[in-house]
Amino acid sequence: MADLTSNFLGIKSPNPFWLASAPPTDKAYNVNRAFEAGWGGVSWKTLGEDPHIVNVNGPRYTTMMSNDRRVIGFNNIELITDRPFQVNLKEMRQVKRDWPDRAVIASVMFPMSEASWAKHIPIIEDTGIDGFELNFGCPHGMSERGMGAAVGQVPEYIKQATEWCKKYATVPVIVKLTPNITDVIYPAEAVLEGGGDAVSLINTINSIMRVDYDSLTMFPTTGGMGTHGGYCGEAVKPIALNMVAEIARNEKTRNLPISGIGGVSTWKDAVDFIALGASNVQVCTAAMVYGFKIVEDMKTGLSNFLDEKGMNSVDELIGKAVPSVTDWKFLNLNHVDKAVIDQDKCIKCGRCHIVCEDTSHQAIEYSTDSGDRVFTVKDDECVGCNLCVSVCPVIDCISMVAMTSGTDPRTGKAISPQASDWTTHPNNPLKVS
């Protein structure tokens, strides 16, 4: 069995699955249940100044579902903790005492005033928590008050607040980033400049789920009016993975430890995040959809996967896929793939044909001449776009196969063993000669 033990910034936990700062980590009751279920750590629901905020007494959550009611995406308008500061501190102290082997992180959000950080950070650290996570991501409500994403969207504020926190904290400081920005590199670099120890990302994405088809108002509403919320769950994972990978491959930030967040629902999602540069992952939506037990499969799945890969620990997986991520301009334009349909597996639905015919390169022929429905790839039209693979309902029925020799029947050009990219392409006005 591979070792799932995680050491993130010196914070040890029995596995790399932490619960993200969110409703599941709102209070001791939930956190105790989470630890009993086997979670490696928690980022406690974000603390703020007293008097504590209040939440609406109406819908805080909405989901996007498939027809069989499986949750695909999840939206929330809940704010940070709505309990008194001291109540949280007391519970955090007790929980950390009761669960010394688990990671307990204090998520915090304070105004852009050094006095506030100076006042709160030492008292929080005194509870025995393992680290801080600065919530610069919350996109709703708190951002209207100049906190959360309002800080996370301005690199100078990130740097400043990070500096203040570091000044008054002795434990590691993780900065949680918002995806509601144009380029995640700027906030990540600001964290480095402010002396932050790590980043965690992504927080939720600004979103409105839909309208109510009867009332033609947005949905859901609190008594008729609604507001945008934060989007999360499986649907946001690709957005999160890109941002994680961007930080992991950026020259300045590549050594900045990352805690991956965004749609982690199974061990495979954790593999995605970790291979693309995260050191551990944080989960919220999957727990809010299925309960804490979901961590069991995450742990055995990841462990079995590492065993299959001959890896002894999670650390060996970190960043494995990062070298394969590059800019478009460095992709090999001499590489030629062609779609190949396994006729024995094909169930003749024709989806590959119609999407290629209607929306792509007219490269899959449909014939009923033999009496059967037959779909075949026209190599002289196929550009290797992978659309057919992407819509085929049968696993491994269509695959992309690279041409290694001969001539591409589409272009009439010989397959070149030499790689060649856009930077030297004759059509590039800025090509390097």
The residues assigned a catalytic role are: 138
Q: How far is the CB of 355 from other proteins (least distance, A)?
A: 9
| Residue (28 or 398) nearer to other proteins, CB | 398
Structure-token pair, residue 98: 């009761």
Pick the stretch among 134-142, 160-168, 218-226, 341-349 that binds other proteins (CB under 8 A): 341-349
Count the site residues for other proteins by CB under 8 A.
Answer: 15
**Angle of helix 155-168 relative to helix 185-193, nearest 10 degrees?**
30
Confirm or reject binding of residue 321 to other proteins (CB under 8 A).
no
Confirm or reject binding of residue 388 to other proteins (CB under 8 A).
no
Burial degree of 29 (CB within 10 A; 0-12, 13-18, 19+): exposed
| Residue (68 or 369) nearer to other proteins, CB | 68
Round to whole Å and give the CA distance between 190 and 154: 9
Confirm or reject binding of residue 67 to other proteins (CB under 8 A).
yes
Confirm or reject binding of residue 69 to other proteins (CB under 8 A).
yes
Round to whole Å and give the CA distance between 155 and 203: 16
Which residue in the set 51, 393, 406, 429 belongs to the binding site for other proteins (CB under 8 A)?
393
Q: How far is the CB of 400 from other proteins (least distance, A)?
A: 21
Pick the stretch among 121-129, 189-197, 347-355, 413-421 that binds other proteins (CB under 8 A): 347-355
Q: How far is the CB of 127 from other proteins (least distance, A)?
A: 47
User: Would you say 222 and 229 are in contact if contact means Cβ atoms under 8 Å apart?
Assistant: no
Pick the stretch among 63-71, 122-130, 270-278, 298-306 that binds other proteins (CB under 8 A): 63-71
Which residue in the set 394, 401, 402, 414 belongs to the binding site for other proteins (CB under 8 A)?
394
Burial degree of 45 (CB within 10 A; 0-12, 13-18, 19+): buried
Q: Verify cis geometry, omega within 30 degrees of 0, for the bond prior to 53.
A: no
Confirm or reject binding of residue 83 to other proteins (CB under 8 A).
no
The site map against other proteins for 350-379 (x = CB under 8 A) is: xx-xx-----------x------x------
Burial degree of 182 (CB within 10 A; 0-12, 13-18, 19+): exposed
| 376-379: long-range pairs with CB below 8 Å, 24+ | 376/341, 377/338, 377/339, 377/340, 377/341, 379/338, 379/409, 379/410
Q: Which residues neighbour 270 within 8 Å (Cβ) at sequence distance 6 or greater?
A: 16, 17, 260, 264, 281, 298, 302
Q: Find tokens 């196969």 and name the residue.
A: 401
Confirm or reject binding of residue 311 to other proteins (CB under 8 A).
no
Rounded (5°) CA angle 351-266-298: 150
| Residue (100 or 393) nearer to other proteins, CB | 393
| Residue (20 or 352) nearer to other proteins, CB | 352
| Residue (120 or 351) nearer to other proteins, CB | 351
| Residue (69 or 369) nearer to other proteins, CB | 69
User: Would you say 224 and 137 are in contact if contact means Cβ atoms under 8 Å apart?
Assistant: no
Confirm or reject binding of residue 210 to other proteins (CB under 8 A).
no
Confirm or reject binding of residue 347 to other proteins (CB under 8 A).
yes
Round to whole Å and give the CA distance between 277 and 258: 7
Q: Which amino acid is present at 172?
A: P
Which residue in the set 37, 208, 340, 349 belongs to the binding site for other proteins (CB under 8 A)?
349
Q: Count CA atoms closer than 13 A to 164's CA, side-chain side.
A: 20
Q: How far is the CB of 187 from other proteins (least distance, A)?
A: 39
Going by their DSSP bridges, the two strands 131-135 and 103-108 should be labelled as parallel
| Residue (123 or 347) nearer to other proteins, CB | 347
| Residue (12 or 373) nearer to other proteins, CB | 373
Which residue in the set 1, 54, 57, 68 belongs to the binding site for other proteins (CB under 8 A)?
68
Confirm or reject binding of residue 348 to other proteins (CB under 8 A).
yes
Structure-token pair, residue 378: 């026209």
Pick the stretch among 62-70, 108-116, 128-136, 235-243 that binds other proteins (CB under 8 A): 62-70
Q: Which residues bind other proteins (CB under 8 A)?
A: 66-69, 347-351, 353-354, 366, 373, 393-394
